[in-house]
Chains A and B, each alone.
Chain A
Amino acid sequence: MLVPTLLFFLINSYIPMVGIYFAFTRFDFNGGLFGSQFIGLENFSFLWKSGKLVELTLNTIGYNLAFIFFKNILAILFAVLLSEIHGKWFKKITQSVLFLPYFVSFVLLSAISYNMFNYETGFVNTMLKSFDIAPVNFYNTPWIWIFLLIAFYLWKQIGYSMVIYLASITGISDEYYEAARIDGATILQRIRYITIPMLMPAFFLLLLFSIGSIMKGQFDLFYQLIGNNGLLFSTTDIIDTYVFRSLKETFDIGMATAAGLYQSLFGFILILTVNYLIKKSNEDYALF
């Protein structure tokens, strides 16, 4: 019963690992896998010398750290707030509304972004104009996108993490709160000393899952919002978008494979390190 699943991962994940070999060749479409000329580490050294690798790595890691940090803080905040709200209808409706963006596609997100931020007709610029403030050309101002991308990410993802935290809070036994109340704890003290510590296991689980993908951060988000707008690459190009463009547009197969391999290796080491550190501080939270 397990065989189809193992086969799936063999075909979909393990066999392509052989193709890592492309990273060490000058790829030739006629030659195929072993017909291309072997050039050793030349692809890597080119990536390194062009400065691309540093920029891509900084962007990829920077964005993902920001995503993880803000997402967890806000998700915990809203989960705690919602769990303390007693209005049943209010709670139900707001919870649904906060979860709603998770269900829309990234393509719709790019439509929303266009609607809000394009220069001539965007909602934000329309507002600015009505207050007699000069409109901003978002689509050629790189630094703004650092904030916009984080904001869009949070908009889409907070509801999902919030539900997981909310579920963990519901799982906390009422007896703790009962006891705390008898001891005269205020609402903030109960949150501080019961809810937050009880959320830690869920937090570490989510954290480990997100650390695992820190090097493959959110391709859909970046590609749909930025696309091929070269003006913005300095602050918005991540490894995934670079690899995708090298594959689809410039056909730099060797280079793209090299960047992809670098991404995999770096991510691999990152996960092992983080898992090791977590295991050292608390055995239970580690993933393996």
Chain B
Amino acid sequence: MNTRKSEKSVIFTFSAYTLVTIASLICLIPFLLILSGSLTSNESIIRDGYRLFPKEFSSAAYKAIFAAPSPIVRAYGVTTFVTIVGTAIGLFLMTMAGYVLQRKDFRYRNRCMFFIYFTTLFSGGLVPWYIMMTSYLNLTDTYTALIFPGLMSPFLIILMRSFIRTTIPDEIVESAKIDGANDFRIYYQVVVPLAMPGIATVGLFLALGYWNGWFHSSLFINDPHKYELQYYLYNIINTMSFLADLGASTGVTVAVDIPMESTKLAMALIVTGPILLLYPFVQRFFVKGLTVGAVKG
């Protein structure tokens, strides 16, 4: 696109740079606020309020958390487990579905697609689903309840299907078939390797959904040992009792020794950390996959 450079475009370019810069700052400032808040001493927060830069620097919040890291480590464990297992199973099922659904020689293709797509048009609603999960499938307090609901979505299946359709020419599948490969063999030796960028994208969507999930924990999990990371954070932010627990296990009194305000924010950062660290690597895949998969819906 470097070839088109206009002469009268100086004003345009200037305003483009300005607007984009402002928007980027707006995107970044909340992160800075959280970081700054987590590093400010509690008294200073209560006295002076949150600021963009700490007025009285203190790492007390992080010390308090790492003095008794076991709850957060456990929540990390649950989330990691759920994310890995859920993403792996979901990807496996959706690549297979995507492969079958884009095959032109599959007669019930449109009917199956409609069966899947219809669920986005109409649903029984939250309550019947909740009752089925708890009283008929007995999934309360199980990891299945955290993994199962997020495995697939019509949107991701459509994304996967169009990705496979656009990147894998029919001829390759055809020639593999002539060479005597059966459908499963074509699937894992031809389709999966060629669809890797699409799989990475859908996988990232899935993983992000699991990693940021709190809703299923809040519906189905009563046992704090099985809380997901985000739900754990949610409880920290919303209830003091969690901080009291934290205090009790370190042997300190809450009001005095646990810096409430800054601990909330420190916890928020610790929970978000992995995403912020992985983000630069992950983002590229995301953009690439979306480019191919979503442009031609």
CB of A85 closer than 8 Å to a CB of B: yes
CB of B126 closer than 8 Å to a CB of A: yes
> Which candidate, A45-53, A59-67, A140-148, A180-188, is the interface stretch facing chain B?
A180-188
CB of A2 closer than 8 Å to a CB of B: yes
Residues of A within 8 A of B114 (CB): 288
Residues of B within 8 A of A219 (CB): 215
CB of B151 closer than 8 Å to a CB of A: yes
Given A17-B124, A107-B237, A188-B12, the answer on whether A5 and B94 have CB atoms closer than 8 Å is: yes
CB of B208 closer than 8 Å to a CB of A: yes
Query: In the complex the two chains form, is B48's CB within 8 Å of A126's CB?
Result: yes
Query: In the complex the two chains form, is B151's CB within 8 Å of A8's CB?
Result: yes
Given A85-B16, A163-B290, A164-B290, the answer on whether A107 and B214 have CB atoms closer than 8 Å is: yes
Query: In the complex the two chains form, is B124's CB within 8 Å of A186's CB?
Result: no
Query: In the complex the two chains form, is A260's CB within 8 Å of B17's CB?
Result: no
Given A123-B49, A264-B124, A264-B125, the answer on whether A16 and B132 have CB atoms closer than 8 Å is: yes
Query: In the complex the two chains form, is B272's CB within 8 Å of A5's CB?
Result: no
Nearest CB in chain B to that of A171: its residue: B295
CB of A56 closer than 8 Å to a CB of B: no
Minimum CB–CB distance for A102 against chain B, Å: 9
What's the Cα separation between A83 and B28 when bound, in Å? 21
Partner of A97, one of B24, B48, B271: B24
Given A78-B23, A108-B233, A205-B297, the answer on whether A288 and B50 have CB atoms closer than 8 Å is: no
Query: In the complex the two chains form, is A5's CB within 8 Å of B20's CB?
Result: no
CB of A159 closer than 8 Å to a CB of B: yes
CB of A81 closer than 8 Å to a CB of B: yes
Minimum CB–CB distance for A207 against chain B, Å: 12
Which of A4, A16, A116, A164 is most buried by chain B, counting CB atoms within 10 A of its CB?
Answer: A16
Minimum CB–CB distance for A208 against chain B, Å: 9
Given A8-B152, A20-B125, the answer on whether A212 and B33 have CB atoms closer than 8 Å is: no
Given A8-B151, A120-B49, the answer on whether A247 and B290 have CB atoms closer than 8 Å is: no
Interface residues of B in 268-297 (CB under 8 A from A): 268, 271-272, 275-276, 279-280, 282-283, 286-287, 290-291, 294-295, 297
Residues of B within 8 A of A1 (CB): 96-97, 99-100, 183-184, 187
Residues of A within 8 A of B272 (CB): 104-105, 108
CB of A170 closer than 8 Å to a CB of B: yes
Query: In the complex the two chains form, is B100's CB within 8 Å of A112's CB?
Result: no
Query: In the complex the two chains form, is A121's CB within 8 Å of B50's CB?
Result: yes
Chain A window 1-16, contacts with chain B (Cβ cutoff 8 Å), 1 for yes, 0 for no? 1101110110011111
Query: In the complex the two chains form, is B52's CB within 8 Å of A123's CB?
Result: yes
Query: In the complex the two chains form, is B20's CB within 8 Å of A126's CB?
Result: no
> Which candidate, B1-9, B64-72, B169-177, B241-249, is the interface stretch facing chain A?
B1-9
8 A-B residue pairings within 8 Å (CB atoms): A1-B99, A82-B20, A104-B275, A120-B46, A126-B48, A174-B4, A243-B127, A256-B125
> Which residues of B line the A interface, CB within 8 A?
1-6, 8-9, 12-13, 16-17, 19-21, 23-24, 26-28, 30-31, 33-34, 37, 45-46, 48-52, 93-94, 96-97, 99-101, 112, 114-117, 119-132, 135, 148-149, 151-152, 155, 157, 183-184, 187, 208, 211-212, 214-215, 218-219, 230-231, 233-234, 237-238, 261, 264-265, 268, 271-272, 275-276, 279-280, 282-283, 286-287, 290-291, 294-295, 297
